[in-house]
Structures are given as structure tokens and as C-alpha cells.
């Protein structure tokens, strides 16, 4: 197997290093430059994945507060379809995309066939170093430590990072131009007209469908959804973003029902009611963040914004 410390770029094949190698990179808190290596990541040791993106910048959200941050060291990537299971954090259902320091990965060639032998003792030693709690009421994970592992991003910094996204191969120039145009349109619209889906409800209503994974639903019309929102486009604290409007009228499968998620930056476990993920429903970060980001979170859907579908086959939302 060819090993390399070369910079990892989108499309590269990377192998997660052995537990022994990763253990040597961690401080006593189980972090590298304040980014935790979580117990949920141990199962990926020795496995290979394509690099999805370099993390040039990332979003964060604390309830109604959100923003953009940047890792202090340019050595973080995300891998294709690798998300946190939450198994070591009392079943957190946030399904965060996992951040990987390049020190935890090695670049390999497609033709490489030799893999490191599994070592259960090494895995147990690594797990023993990793913690899941920061206190009695706070969890310890990449989401909880995100603000510590990153720094603020200035307005000028957002522009330079948009250029960096293109240079890193995360997206092409035309795609970045589209993202900026989307952000600019909604920024101007919000300033003059307020939130896209602002309503008048005080308080906002609650509705339950008791949805489960695999259920087929239809997203209600924008008019029906607005009738459940307050003037800031929230329903019981959950924001209905402008990107979510593109799903209106479409049919989708429920990816999972949400009961609990760990809050960015605090480690608090927040309990949710009547909320789901839908398949093929990303957060559409470009609508609210200049140039978008690499975190690829899911959009959260209140069940009151949905109705059960009577048809047996799903279809995408109207174009």
C-alpha cells in the first residue's frame, strides 16, 4: 500500500488509520487541535472512503443563532456518506457529517489491496482515551466542541473562502457563482420584505402524524406552512428556511423520526417532538450562508408541515 502525507482533495481515496496510529495523534482529552476523535469513528479504522470535500468553512447552529466558522488549521476533510451514528452519545439522532483531520487518514491508490490487520486491543485502547461527556448535563463530541475547534469568519473572510472552495475542488466556478447569487437574492429580499415564510401565529401550533422511517409523505403548500409560522418563520423555535420551499407539493420518504439532538457548541441534548428528516432534503445552506458550506446537515421538518401520502410510489418535488 502506498502511504502518503499529501494533501487530500475531493475524489481522493483515503484510508482511516489504525487505532494505534490515531491514539498517538490525540491529546489527553481525545482531541487533535481541539477536534474530538469520537467513539463512533473507531469502527471506520482501516476502511477506505472517497474524500467528499475539504472543509474550507462550516456552519453552526444554536437554536435561533447560527453563523459560519473556519477551522484554524487547513487540514480537515469530510468523507462520502460517513456520518455519526450517535451510538456512544445516548442515541443522538443528529447524524452529523464527521470531520476528519488529515492526520487520521492516509491517501491510498485505487490499486492498493493491502490493508492493516484489525487489532481489537488497539481499538479498546483508543476507545478508553475517548470521552463522551463534558459534564453531568453536557455531551462531548464534534458538535459540542465545534466553536472551540474553529474561529469566527469575517465578512471579507467569507469572500476569500468562497475562492478557496473553488480552488480546493469542492465546487466549480459556475456552481459558486450560483450559490452567491442565491445568497444575494435572499439577503436583499429579507432586508426589504422580511423572512420569506413569515407568518402571524403567536404562539405557533403543534401537529403530530406519528411518522416513522419509510413513511411516504407530501409536503404541504407554502400557504399552509406559513399559517403555522410566526413573524420570524419559526414553528416552536424551528426555522422554515427559503430552500425548503422547493419541496412544497412533492412526495418524500421519511428518513427518520427525530427525538433528540446534541446542540452545537454547548453539548446540551435537546429533545424534539413531531419532527423528522426527509430523504433528499439537505439544509440548502447556500440560501442563508455566503457560498454555502461543507457540513451537509439535514433540514428538519415539523410534522405539521407534512401530510401522509395516499399513493404507493414517491416522486420528486416539482421543478
User: What share of the chain in percent tops pLDDT 90?
Assistant: 75
Rg (the chain; Cα; Å): 21
Pairing of strands 138-139, 251-262: unpaired
pLDDT in tens, 71-129: 989 999 999 999 999 999 999 999 999 999 999 999 998 755 555 555 667 899 999 99
- Residues 256-277 have a mean pLDDT of 94
Please state which of the ranges 25-34, 223-232, 283-292 shows the lowest mean pLDDT.
283-292
pLDDT in tens, 50-69: 999 999 999 888 766 778 89
- Which residue's entry shows cell 453531568? 136
- Which residue's entry shows cell 403548500? 221
SS3 172: coil
Q: Which residues contact 145 (CB under 8 A, 6 or more apart)?
A: 31, 34, 35, 36
pLDDT in tens, 279-310: 988 887 878 788 888 888 888 999 999 999 87
Amino acid at each position: 500500500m502506498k502511504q502518503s502525507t499529501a494533501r487530500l482533495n475531493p475524489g481522493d481515496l483515503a484510508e482511516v488509520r489504525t487505532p494505534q496510529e490515531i491514539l498517538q495523534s490525540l491529546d489527553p482529552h481525545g482531541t487533535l487541535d481541539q477536534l474530538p476523535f469520537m467513539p463512533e469513528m473507531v469502527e471506520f479504522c482501516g476502511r477506505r472512503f472517497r474524500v467528499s470535500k475539504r472543509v474550507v468553512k462550516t456552519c453552526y447552529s444554536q437554536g435561533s443563532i447560527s453563523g459560519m466558522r473556519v477551522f484554524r488549521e487547513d487540514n480537515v476533510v469530510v468523507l462520502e456518506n460517513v456520518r455519526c451514528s450517535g451510538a456512544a452519545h445516548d442515541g443522538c439522532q443528529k447524524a452529523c457529517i464527521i470531520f476528519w483531520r488529515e492526520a487520521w487518514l492516509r491517501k491510498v491508490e485505487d490499486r492498493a489491496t493491502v490493508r492493516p490487520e484489525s487489532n481489537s486491543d488497539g481499538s479498546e485502547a483508543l476507545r478508553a482515551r475517548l470521552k463522551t461527556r463534558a459534564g453531568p448535563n453536557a455531551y462531548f463530541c464534534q458538535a459540542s466542541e465545534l466553536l472551540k475547534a474553529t474561529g469566527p469568519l469575517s465578512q471579507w473572510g467569507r469572500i476569500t473562502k468562497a475562492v478557496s472552495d473553488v480552488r480546493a475542488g469542492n465546487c466549480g466556478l459556475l456552481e459558486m457563482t450560483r450559490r452567491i447569487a442565491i445568497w444575494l437574492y435572499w439577503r436583499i429580499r429579507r432586508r426589504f420584505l422580511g423572512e420569506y415564510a413569515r407568518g402571524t401565529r403567536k404562539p405557533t401550533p403543534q401537529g403530530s402524524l406519528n411518522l416513522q422511517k419509510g413513511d411516504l409523505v407530501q409536503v404541504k403548500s407554502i400557504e399552509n406552512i406559513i399559517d403555522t409560522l410566526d413573524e420570524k418563520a419559526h414553528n416552536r423555535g424551528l426555522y422554515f428556511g427559503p430552500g425548503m420551499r422547493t419541496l412544497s407539493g412533492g412526495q418524500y420518504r421519511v428518513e427518520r423520526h427525530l427525538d433528540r439532538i446534541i446542540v452545537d457548541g454547548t453539548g446540551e441534548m435537546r429533545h424534539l417532538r413531531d419532527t423528522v428528516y426527509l430523504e433528499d432534503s439537505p439544509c440548502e445552506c447556500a440560501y442563508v450562508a455566503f457560498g454555502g458550506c461543507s457540513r451537509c446537515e439535514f433540514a428538519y421538518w415539523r410534522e405539521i408541515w407534512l401530510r401522509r401520502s395516499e399513493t404507493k410510489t414517491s416522486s420528486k418535488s416539482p421543478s
